[in-house]
Amino acid sequence: MAVTKKFSADRVRQAYTAGLRDFGENYVQEFAEKQSELADLADARFHLIGHLQSNKVKLACNLFAVVQTIDSAKLMWRLDKAAAERGTQLEALIELKLSSEASKSGALPEYLPELLDTARKCNHLTVSGLMTMPPWSEDAEQSRTYFQELARLARKYSLNELSMGMSNDFEVAVEEGATMIRLGTALFGSRPKPNPGDSTQL
């Protein structure tokens, strides 16, 4: 998956022309501003890989085919309702927080059974797998234990998709069974620096 946050719609189109079809965006509002320029890319799938605020659930449901950052039953119900109102099906991944790093989002692993039980009661939202973000390190091996744990949980609960691994550690993620790796810098180089007062990170 090409992570295109902070890159222009033109860069997304270039990646699409090169053959990529799955794209990850972190910010609902930022992608909303790009989406009109990309509406003709009929078979492109856009994934939300950043934290989703409850007041942006309806907009996110309109924009994304997949939400990878489900971390509560409340968010799941809201997305299910929004998808029902649109008459569509939404794919979702549950984001798990496997480290103690305060800056990371996600549900704690002990809540996974409860979240999967909620998912089974949803009519317009389907949970297909798990996602995680280990603490960043220049040493990719530091991520291995987190990837192994996510893979173990996916096997335990018969979930097929494993979204794990970024530009710094994707090779280790692939070794541990990743079905989706999220690559930004490795594909596009460094991201443009945000302008002062930039409001797109909402």
pTM for the model stands at 0.91
* 8 A C-beta contact, residue 139 and residue 168: no
pLDDT at 193: 66
Task: Please list the residues that pair with 48 across neighbouring strands.
Answer: 25, 67
Q: What is the pLDDT of residues 171-201, one digit of tens each?
A: 999 999 999 999 999 999 887 665 544 444 3
Which ranges of the chain would DSSP assign to H, the alpha helix? 9-17, 28-35, 57-63, 73-86, 112-120, 144-156, 170-175, 185-188
Tell me the pLDDT band of 88, cut-offs 50, 70 and 90: very high
Domains (ranges, CATH) in the chain?
Answer: 2-188 (3.20.20.10)
Tell me the pLDDT band of 103, cut-offs 50, 70 and 90: confident
Least confident stretch, 26-35, 92-101, 187-196? 187-196
> Which residue do the tokens 């090409």 mark?
2
